[in-house]
Amino acid sequence: MNEEEFYNKVGEINGWDFSHLQVEVEGAKWNFNEKVKAISRESDSLLDLGTGGGENVIGLAPEFSSLVGIDASQSMIRKAKSNLKTSGILNISFHEMSNHELTFPDQFFHIVTSRHAPFKASEVNRVLKQGGTFITQQVSEEDKLNLKKEFGRGQSYGEQDGKLKQKYIIELKEAGFTSIVELEYNATEYYKREEDLLFLLNHTPIIPNFLDDPNDLDRFNQFVQANKTKKGIYTNSKRFLLIATN
Query: Under the phi-then-psi rule, with left for phi > 0, alpha for psi from -120 to 50, and beta for the rest, what region is 106?
Result: beta
Residue 13: band (very low, low, confident or very high) from pLDDT cuts 50, 70, 90: very low
Burial 180-206 (b: 16+ CB within 10 A, else e): eeeeebbeebbbeeeebbbbbbebbbb
- The pLDDT assigned to 19 comes to 84
φ, ψ of residue 99 to 5 degrees: the values are -65, -25
> Other CB atoms closer than 10 Å to residue 43's CB: what's the count?
9
Residue 6 has pLDDT above 90, yes or no: no
Burial category of 62 from C-beta neighbours within 10 Å (exposed 0-12, middle 13-18, buried 19 and up): exposed
Residue 199: band (very low, low, confident or very high) from pLDDT cuts 50, 70, 90: very high
Contact 1, 209 (CB under 8 A): yes
- The pLDDT assigned to 11 comes to 38
Read off the pLDDT of residues 83-115 as tens digits, 9 standing for 90 and up.
999 999 999 999 999 999 999 999 999 999 999
- The pLDDT assigned to 16 comes to 52
Read off the pLDDT of residues 24-59 as tens digits, 9 standing for 90 and up.
999 999 999 999 999 999 999 999 999 999 999 999
Residue 7: band (very low, low, confident or very high) from pLDDT cuts 50, 70, 90: very low
Give the DSSP H or E segment for 185: strand 179-191
- The pLDDT assigned to 10 comes to 36
Give the mean pLDDT of 132-153. Answer: 98
The span from the CA of 153 to the CA of 63, in Å, is: 40
- Biggest alpha carbon distance in the chain? 53
Contact 121, 178 (CB under 8 A): no
Average pLDDT taken over every residue of the chain: 93
Residue 17 has pLDDT above 90, yes or no: no
Query: Distance between the two ends of the chain, CA-based, in angstroms?
Result: 38
Residue 197 has pLDDT above 50, yes or no: yes
